[in-house]
Structure 1
Amino acid sequence: MDKYEVSLTGAQWRKSTKSGNNGGCVEFAQVGAFVAIRDSRNPEREPLIFDANEWDCFLDGAGKGEFPVPTA
């Protein structure tokens, strides 16, 4: 199965421990060998789905500060 065939039916979404009280939360769910992430304010929107290698690369880049905070 590839990430485009993942069913999120029954996924158990959890909020990031880094989420604040301002409603801007990221939620994630482990779905088999994949990780899905979504915006908790818009749960009906399609989430991003990562395979194991993509998730590891994302976490590595985030830890190194490769994703700067956008400015308005």
Structure 2
Amino acid sequence: MTAPQVAPEGAWFKSSYSGGGGNNCVEVADLTAAVGIRDSKDKAGPALVVSPKAWASFIDLVRSGEADFSLV
């Protein structure tokens, strides 16, 4: 599914922790019953849709440090 199919442009937002460079950012859209996730550099590209529970679990893992996304 593409990002425009998931949510209108105005629904997408970046985290307040996201830097201004925009090199490695994702944007999310709160869809009430789901959460849309897209690459901020490809606004018309593919998007993921996950449940709010799955998104919250992912955020908890990142905050706890259990999720390590280091590119080595």
Normalised to the residue count of structure 1, the TM-score between the two structures is 0.72
- Give 1:18's aligned residue: 17
Q: Name stretches of at least 5 consecutive residues in structure 2 with no aligned partner.
A: none
Q: Name stretches of at least 5 consecutive residues in structure 1 with no aligned partner.
A: 1-6
Q: Which amino acid aligns with 2:12?
A: W
Structure (1/2) with the larger helix percentage: 2
- Give 1:8's aligned residue: 6
- Give 1:71's aligned residue: 71
Normalised to the residue count of structure 2, the TM-score between the two structures is 0.72
What is the alpha-carbon root mean square deviation over aligned residues? 1.8
The verdict on how the C-alpha distance between 1:36 and 1:44 changes in structure 2, with shifts beyond 3 A counting, is same
- Give 1:3's aligned residue: none
Report the count of equivalent residues. 66
Give the share of equivalent positions with the same residue, in percent.
33
Q: Which runs of 4+ in 1 moved over 3 A?
A: none
The verdict on how the C-alpha distance between 1:30 and 1:18 changes in structure 2, with shifts beyond 3 A counting, is same
**Larger relative contact order, structure 1 or 2 (CA cutoff 8 Å, min sep 6):** 2
Counterparts of 1:1-72 in structure 2, within 5 Å, are 7-10=5-8, 12-24=11-23, 25-72=25-72
